[in-house]
Amino acid sequence: MSKHKLIIYDDFFDSRYDGEDRDDENANELSIQKDGSDPARLSLLLTNWDQQGHEFDNTFSLTKKEARLLADLLTKWGNK
């Protein structure tokens, strides 16, 4: 993968690849942060760019229970 940029603040995670070699070689970005309108939820934003530079955003919202289950899955995967 090329040109990887990772930003982490207290309540914000952002990971961007400006040309992912394992995929279609287009930029991909994942942002995760607390939901501004509902503190009981976590907002995920996945952005993809096409060959012409057009941006496509996909959003998803997790409950705290779902976020805990995802954290558990990531922890188990990370510890293997």
CA distances from 61 to 5, 26, 36, 67 (A): 23, 24, 11, 9
Q: Residue 1 above 50 pLDDT?
A: no
More confident residue, 74 or 4: 74
Ranges assigned E (strand) in 1-80: 4-9, 12-17, 28-34, 41-49, 55-63
Total H helices, total E strands in the chain: 1, 5
pTM score of the predicted model: 0.77
Contact 45, 28 (CB under 8 A): no
Q: Is 1 helix (H, G, I), strand (E, B) or coil?
A: coil
**What is the tens place of the pLDDT at every residue in 13-70?**
998 877 665 666 778 889 999 998 998 999 999 988 888 888 899 999 999 999 999 9
- In the chain the domains, ranked by start, together with CATH numbers, are 4-78 (3.10.450)
